[in-house]
Amino acid sequence: MILGMGSDLCDIRRIERSIARFGDRFLERAFTPVERAYADRRSGMARIGTYAKRWAAKEACAKALGTGFNNGVFLRDIGVRNRPGGAPMLELTNGARAALGRLVPARMQASIVLTMTDEVPYAMAQVLIQALPAEGIATGTVMG
């Protein structure tokens, strides 16, 4: 059962300007420590593109949750991690996790699918939130 879907297109140059203007203050406000560590292993436009894709993923997830960045959902409540094979996944905390919990019907478990891409000067992300039967899935687990 599909609970929500969201997409976002981000101009990489906008993220580049925000980083240049506000530096660490912007990065710490918008991105989790895991996201910053991952992006900062890259250099130049690859670093900026990595941040832009994660920004787009946060926006797409907020749309899929149906909240936007309101009702206690903040940028840092939505984090992108990479699985060992490199595939991206979302990790929701605080207000974003609570918003997800309100979407999921009883005896169901949330599954979140994320895809991201970039082609300078744009980054794009799509998020699909679905509910699956909870049978065989550990309670409280949010799959990416």
Residue 100 tokens read as 């997800």
Judge whether 132 and 100 are in contact, CB under 8 Å.
no
Q: Which residues of 80-90 are buried (b: 16+ CB within 10 A; e: fewer)?
A: beeeeeeebbb
Is 11 annotated for ligand binding? Answer: no
Q: How many residues does the chain have?
A: 144
Does 8 count as an annotated binding residue? yes
What is the C-alpha separation between 45 and 121, in angstroms, rounded?
10
* Annotated binding-site positions for Mg(2+): 8, 59
* Annotated binding-site positions: 8, 59
